[in-house]
A and B are shown apart, each in its own frame.
Chain A
């Protein structure tokens, strides 16, 4: 798999207009350098806090907002809150939240009122421009992405609480984690070295074991799986 091949697969005809919000100077400069030379992207504004992000959105109305989760003024979860606000003011804008927290809670909060055009990525993914571009393109296309580490944490937290997840085979769990990341059947097949047909079989088996109705649309599938995992968390072990 070469870079150009994958990139072309997701590339939109028009450049995706992006606003970056990040309070750390070093990271901001790094990400700017990363995105500046990408042909399919147009970085229209760079901001450093919650308020200036919302103002920049009003001014430029971008396709995607790439935002740090923790920024001034409170330094807690401004990115998730901005995503929530944009859901009502600009539902057509995709939001990629960058975070240093591998906590599923933040990701679940981000998807609480719908997973469309939302991505939760750990910041270390910034080191791999492909993963970042893939997430940006996915949300621009209406899909959603959750960082593999977060999905892992969700699955791990569920795995020893004595649940239906125990009935999944190790392979099915891998597939489940891939679904959670928002991958398509083709993407899963590539990642796990399976045929698309094999992936489909695994998915229908997983969904029937979990008691979920099979979703063909991979965007809505993410939400179904994440919600399933999220709902089980924190409940008494019984």
Chain B
């Protein structure tokens, strides 16, 4: 609907374009320009209605636009029908009547727009009277104009077709009154925007900045025009052009509500301040020198030329320092106060002294860098081998994706800095002639790196050498530790693999050979029996018993080396089986424990076994228990007994060292809780994820201990 209305407005404007030509009244040109400018309203009204349907301001935009469009149409129509070519069109009086009053609701809606911008709600309940006053005033004025008797004010050649004598006739006083009224509510509405701006943050603040910027620009346009006119500067359509700047208001308001490139306004304001300041300076300088000095010294063509040259020289000399000063001022106004390089460096030294954690250290460095230079992105890079690895970045908005450009390492060629993508400046950090890392900054768009930023960057890089060196040493140490842990894990894994291999070799080799031997002994014995060789039968029977002993011994040996149950059935079953062989009752509770990776299961199994052996050998316990518990991201085991408790010398024994080593290799830890006479509990914990293919015992899979038997 709004799109249609705005289209109608445009069509009306085109219609009007031809018919408005003969109308040559004093200020009508400017009024037409204002209303043409306001045609931006319905367009944005339509855009807001389609893009941001939750924002109620679209109908105000549209209402202002419709009023403007109606005025344009009626005015042109009435002028043509009643004045330019009387009688050429019908209904001229009605058009004149409507044109006479339709601007009032237009202004009323415009006031309302300022009050409700940007979210459609009043800033607070206190502003309600202003909104009501504007609405009531607008309604009264519209009604009055509609019914006032006598000639129409803007169209003195037409009489109000529905004028009532009871209503006071339109007069100069009414005009002044209505002007004062709109000025009052207008000032109130604009101050409501300032009131909002003081409290607003984030998006709303940016939206308000847009509107205020447009307002200031429009006001400046009018002011400049007003200043230039008495100075004698006139252009044919000066007033109209100045008025057209008012289109900036709907443009800015609409852009702000649509949130299109919301944050660019900072750059725009910044540049405007600098350019405006420069323009003012140049104008003032010229005016002061050429007009001021010229007036004092006297008039003459040559003198004027010399003065112009002098003015140009003054402007040229002062231009650069003034521009820098203006830029600094604009930056401070727009981006807030930034730390001076000196402040940054002294803060850097203090903070580097405070922190120990290398990661934190680098993060703080990046932050100082960003705050000091006003960078959009500041990064600290660390040299690792032949690459520069990003070690810290500021600002960190949420967790960075692992494939974020900012985390990508850059390969190093010799001892020089490689090119960095998308950064404004990169500075090498060097210590003792060795390249240790780099600092990079990326400034906001359209904001160049200043010499001050550059200086800060190199000063910081010079100081960062020692810090980066320390960080690198720490990182290398951590790497070594990690290597050490990995190598220990490899050792344990290799040991486990060797155990499995040994068990398999025993099972497939010696054990099978003994079984085959026993079968043959049986066959031999049967033969001997058939031949009634009694002595041989007895001897073969004895051999069979010895073979059985050998088989039993070998079986126990193989199970001790690596229990096949652990591989095929898992921890719960293997431990329960082992517990059943102990000379004292051992309860095994492994509810909810599923299958884990081979190395995890082996570590837990052998640790529990080691602990149980300690219990049997040293504790003098009546009973013991083994408890396995899946914990968050890991597996916990506890072996508890009711024996005499561990002494310190036992705690340092080889068994516990083995357990600690095994768990360490997998990133786990061991705790011993014991007091003399109160038994002992050994608790181990290691990070582990259960294998998805094997649900926990309690859920009842096929491969279970008797617990799951039906």
Contacts and interface: CB of A to CB of B under 8 A. Distances in A.
B625 A31 contact: no
Given A124-B551, A157-B580, A236-B625, A34 B519 contact: yes
Interface in B653-710: 702-710
A124 B516 contact: no
B585 A101 contact: no
Contact of A129 (B526, B572, B705): B526
Interface stretch (A42-50, A58-66, A104-112, A202-210): A104-112
A96 interface: no
Contact of A34 (B511, B523, B704, B710): B523
Given A24-B508, A105-B569, A124-B551, A229 B706 contact: yes
Given A227-B709, A234-B572, A105 B565 contact: yes
A56 interface: no
Contacts of A26: 512-513, 515-516
B314 to A, nearest CB: 95
A111 B446 CA distance: 80
Given A26-B516, A231-B709, A234-B706, A34 B555 contact: no
Contacts of B583: 160
A183 interface: no
A84 interface: yes
Interface string B546-579: 0110010001001100001101110011001101
Contacts of A153: 580-581
Interface majority SS on A: helix, strand, loop or mixed? helix
Contacts of B507: 70, 100
Interface string A198-227: 000000000000000000000000000001
A235 B707 contact: yes
B706 A233 contact: yes
B488 to A, nearest CB: 28
Interface string A72-87: 0001110000001000
B234 interface: no
Interface string A139-180: 000000000000001001100111000000000000000000
B254 to A, nearest CB: 71
Contacts of B504: 75
Contact of B589 (A23, A126, A128, A236): A236
Contacts of B511: 100, 123
Interface residues of A, number: 50
B512 A233 contact: no
A8 interface: no
B564 A161 contact: no
B285 interface: no
A91 interface: no
B623 interface: yes
Contacts of B515: 24, 26-27, 30, 100, 123-124, 126-127
B438 to A, nearest CB: 54
Given A124-B547, A127-B521, A237 B512 contact: no
Contact of A160 (B526, B544, B548, B585): B585
B567 A233 contact: no
A18 interface: no
Given A105-B569, A156-B580, A162-B585, A29 B706 contact: no
Interface in B474-514: 504, 507-508, 511-513
A53 interface: no
Most buried by B among A105, A111, A160: A105
28 contacts: A3-B529, A24-B512, A24-B516, A27-B512, A29-B516, A30-B515, A75-B504, A84-B702, A103-B577, A104-B577, A106-B565, A109-B569, A109-B702, A112-B708, A113-B710, A124-B547, A126-B515, A126-B522, A127-B518, A153-B580, A230-B706, A231-B707, A233-B706, A234-B572, A235-B587, A236-B587, A236-B589, A237-B623
Interface of A: 3, 23-24, 26-27, 29-31, 33-34, 70, 75-77, 84, 100-106, 108-109, 111-113, 123-124, 126-129, 153, 156-157, 160-162, 227, 229-238
Given A129-B522, A161-B585, 18 more contacts: A26-B512, A26-B513, A76-B564, A105-B573, A105-B706, A108-B709, A111-B709, A112-B702, A124-B515, A127-B518, A127-B519, A157-B579, A227-B706, A227-B709, A234-B588, A235-B587, A236-B589, A237-B587
Interface of B: 504, 507-508, 511-513, 515-516, 518-523, 526, 529, 544, 547-548, 551, 555, 558-559, 564-565, 567-569, 572-573, 576-577, 579-581, 583-590, 623, 625, 702-710
